[in-house]
Structure formats: structure tokens, C-alpha cells
Amino acid sequence: MGIRQYNPTTPGRRGGSVSDFAELSLLEGSVVEIVERPNGKPYAVVNYDNGSQGRVKVRPNMKVGDKVNSRPKPEKTLLQPAKKTGGRNNQGVITSRFRGGGAKRMYRIIDFKRRKDGVWGTVMTIEYDPNRTARIALVQYEDGEKTYILAPEGLKVGDRLMSGEEAEPRVGNCMPLRKVPLGMSIHNVEMQPGHGGQLSRSAGTAATLSAREGKWAQLTLPSGEVRRISSECRATIGTIGNAEHMNVSLGKAGRKRHMGRKPHNRGTSMNPVDHPMGGGEGRTAGGRHPCSPSGVLSKGGKTRAKRKPSNAAIVRRRKPGRHQQG
């Protein structure tokens, strides 16, 4: 796992970088047939070493018997269409600005609950997921069921996993917080028992189980916040993989458009009808504290509900951002 730089053939390539995807699985196999098609684009039928069969594009001078490598295709039974909203609600009103377009995706159904207790599962592949920064692992259980889980750092193809009370505190295993040893790094942490993991699901993140008292466990989250959670909530052992994701540089605006993000306009560059900070002669500072089009403060203004029930669960708040300090 690392970052790959390209030769500066274009301005976008000069500043851009990509993941080397070294941790993703590769299928090895041999070409058994080359099929011609009426459109003039032949394909090769490949028998892979794991017993599956697939198709690949015919490369120059490819012939029957050649060895080939390819990425495994996602599990079809765990795919569903990902519908785009363009940042609009059911009435067509923009509620999330600067969204739209982007590459078409299929959503991978991830098992965040990990409720298949006492059944051993084997990691079949480590795959790329376009919907999240983390990698995902395809797990096949002894009864034949297949699921996707978030791939922690150090998980490899062939590793065996288990969920539940009897699971050992090893990387990839899922268990209640009351069974997890203190000081251990965990991810995919539930906030309510049975609701599925909601905390620490991004690339390179992990929470730390810092204390346990009675029916409550105390976690230190990646933001620095210390939070109290029921000991019956489940978590997965280990740190989410692909930690180098934060060092990838996009290099050009087009890569952000592929992600479904449009250019972000400053409020001071708009007209008064469009934004509270718009208008004026020439460049202006906006005339007021920075805010959103609806007037919500964007630099240090509190947006958390004062009477939110889960406020009582926060033992120590995260450190404020740089613009809030002082």
C-alpha cells in the first residue's frame, strides 16, 4: 500500500497522485479461448486458479495458454444501483450545494452489523469500493453465505474471521465491547446495540477502548472526543486499512467532478439575491461574519442541538478547529 506518482505529462499529472492499489487481490489464470465478435473487438476466456472463469480484453500478441492477472469482479449478489440526487430533496430543492454529475457507481452492500455469530468465515478477496475511502473484504462463511466487510489493516486473503461472544480479540473479529481488552484499537463501532457500526469507518481510522465501568464503555474517538457507549454495542478489532488515502493529491478539478462534486463558489462572489455576503462594488470582505446562504455561521458557530439526547454520552468534547480557538 502506497502512493504512486506519474511522470508530468500534463499539468494535472504533475500535481496528481493515486493509490498503488497493492493491497487489492489479483486473480491469476490462463487463456483457454479467444472469441471473435461481430464488432471486431475480441475477448479472451480465462480460467482462473480459484476455479472461476472470466473474460478479459485481448492484448497484443495474446494467445491461448498465456498467463494473465486481473482484478476480481464484485460479488453480484451484493450489488445494488446507487441513485444520484444531485444534492436535491424529494421536492427538487437543493439541500446540499455543489453536488452533481460524477461516475456511475454500484453500491456494495456492507455487513456493518456482523451478527452471524459462531460461524467461521474466510476472506476471499480484498476489493476496491468506489463509495468509501476504505477497502472492503469479501468473506465467505462455512454455510456458503457471502458478505462484504470493511477491510482492516493487516487482513489478508485466506484469513479466518468470527463474530460473537466466543470470538478472539484478533484483527477482523467482531465482538461486544465488554469482551474487548482495554487499550485495544477498534473500528466499525455501534452507537446503539443492534444498529450496526457507525463510528470509525473511514480509511486509516480507529477508536481506542480506554475504560469500562458497569454497563458502559468509554471510547476515545479519532477526533479526540471521549464518548460513553453501552458495553453491549459491538466493534471490530483493528484499524481500518488504506491509511495512505489522506496523502493522495487529485491534481486537477476533473477528478473532483468524477466524484460528483461541482465547483464551490464563494459567497462574496455572488449577488445579494443569492447570498447574504454577496454584492458590493469590487471585491469586498462580505460585510458580516462568514455564513451559509441561509445565514448559518460557518466559522465557529455551534450547530449541535442543545438538548440532543446523546449530549449526555459525551465525556469530553473534541478539540475545536483552528478557527474556533483563541
C-alpha grid cell, residue 173: 473479529
Longest CA–CA span in the chain (Å) reads: 72
Confidence category of residue 3, pLDDT binned at 50, 70, 90: very high
Quote the radius of gyration of the chain (alpha carbons, Å). Answer: 24
* % of residues, the chain, pLDDT over 70: 98
In angstroms, the CA 147 to CA 8 distance is 40
Average pLDDT over residues 282-309: 90
What are phi and psi for residue 246, nearest 5 degrees?
Answer: -65, -15
pLDDT, residue 209, reads 97
pLDDT, residue 274, reads 94
pLDDT at 323 over 70: no
CA atoms within 13 A on the CB side of 43: 9
pLDDT at 271 over 80: yes
Single-letter amino acid, residue 174: C
Confidence category of residue 255, pLDDT binned at 50, 70, 90: very high
pLDDT, residue 155, reads 96
Length of the chain measured in residues: 326
DSSP 177: G
Per-residue pLDDT tens over the stretch 188-218: 999 999 999 999 999 999 999 999 998 999 9
In angstroms, the CA 78 to CA 140 distance is 12
Strand-pair partners of 45? 33, 55
C-alpha grid cell, residue 184: 485495544
pLDDT, residue 212, reads 95
In angstroms, the CA 115 to CA 162 distance is 10
DSSP 164: S
Per-residue pLDDT tens over the stretch 109-123: 999 999 999 999 999
In angstroms, the CA 58 to CA 35 distance is 9
Single-letter amino acid, residue 25: S
Alpha-helix residue ranges (DSSP H) falling in the chain: 11-15, 253-258
Average pLDDT over residues 223-241: 96
Where along the chain do its domains lie?
3-73
In angstroms, the CA 32 to CA 173 distance is 39
H or E stretch at 174: strand 174-176
What are phi and psi for residue 12, nearest 5 degrees?
Answer: -70, -35
What are phi and psi for residue 313, nearest 5 degrees?
Answer: -80, -15
Which residue has better confidence, 97 or 300? 97
Confidence category of residue 132, pLDDT binned at 50, 70, 90: very high
pLDDT, residue 106, reads 97
pLDDT, residue 27, reads 87
pLDDT, residue 231, reads 96
Whole-angstrom CA distances from 311 to 143, 226, 229, 291, 320 are 42, 12, 12, 25, 16
Give the domain 3-73 fold.
Answer: OB fold (Dihydrolipoamide Acetyltransferase, E2P) (2.40.50)
- pTM exceeding 0.95: no
Is the distance from CB of 184 to CB of 178 less than 8 angstroms?
Answer: no
In angstroms, the CA 281 to CA 265 distance is 18
In angstroms, the CA 121 to CA 138 distance is 10
